[in-house]
Amino acid sequence: MSTSPGWLVAAMVPLLCLLPVLWFVVRGEPRNRLVAQNLAQLLTGFVLLLTAQGFGRSTYLDLALVLAILAPAGTLVYARFLGGLPPAPLVRWTAVVGVPATVLPLCVVSGAGRETVKLLFIGAVLLAGAWVTSSGSQPSSEPEPDGTDGPSGSEPSSGERAAKRD
């Protein structure tokens, strides 16, 4: 195996982008946190693709594959329980620009073969997942209309319990 530093330097770019995204996950507005989490998954996917090439280990691509599949599932499940997913142009553009910019050079380097097919497949799944999750979804329509989230937090029955607390 041979590491190629160029790809690892390239991997540093999405990795460093994760730091500001973390700030939004932690301190952003409630609705933006889920979007930031979605963006973090996308950026992590880029780092995984680039480092697989950088470390010269094609087997590391499995990680990017699993991430590409689990990421939209996770985001959509959270969206359902946390009350909807707002449209996110930032995620969409990051995916539309970033996926080809990452996958195509990797395909050129690895040449025709099984690895290229895998790379293109991972890229397609990442792009499709980001495209759908960035177009937003309806607010939660779970069986329970009075959700845990949202500003309307006061219900009549809570009165006596809150009084007992102090």
Partner 1 sequence: MTLLPYLVAGWIFLVGLYGLVTSRNLIHAVGCLAVTQSSTYVLLLAIGYRDGGTAPVFADIPTDARVVDPVVQALTLTDVVVGATVTALLLALVIQLHKRHGTVDPDELSELKG
Partner 2 sequence: MTRRGRLLLFLIAATVTTVLLVGAFVELPDFGTNFHPYGDRAVHAALEHRTANAVASVNFDQRALDTLVEETILFAAVLGAVVLLRQVTGERRRPPRPARVSPAIRRLGVLLLPVALLVGLYVVAHGQLTPGGGFQGGVVVATALHLLYVAADYRALERIRPLGPYEVGDVVGEAAYVVTGLAAMLGGSTFLANVLPWGTLGTLTSGGTVVVLNAAVGMEVACGVVVLLATFLDQVVEIDEESDGARPGTGESR
Partner 3 sequence: MTDPLIAVALVLVAVTATAAVLNREPLRQALVLSFLGLALTLLFVFVQAPDVALSQLAVGSALTPLMIVLTVRKVARATPARHAPEEDDAHDQDGEADR
By CB under 8 A, name the binding residues for partner 3: 3, 5, 8-9, 11-12, 15-16, 18-19, 22, 25-26, 30, 33-34, 37, 40-41, 44, 47-48, 51, 54-55, 57, 59-60, 62-63, 66-67, 70, 73-74, 77-78, 81-82, 144, 146, 148-149, 151, 153-155, 157-158, 161-162, 166
Task: Kindly list the residues in this chain that would bind partner 1 in the complex (CB under 8 A).
Answer: 1, 55-60, 161, 165
Q: Of all helices (H) and strands (E), which one includes residue 134?
A: helix 114-134
- Smaller CB separation from partner 1, 112 or 165: 165
Residue 25 exposed, middle or buried by CB count within 10 Å (0-12, 13-18, 19+)? middle
- Say how far apart CA 62 and CA 57 lie, in whole Å: 10
Residue ranges in 40-59 that form contacts with partner 2 under rule CB under 8 A: 59
Q: Tell whether residue 65 is a contact of partner 2 (CB under 8 A).
A: yes
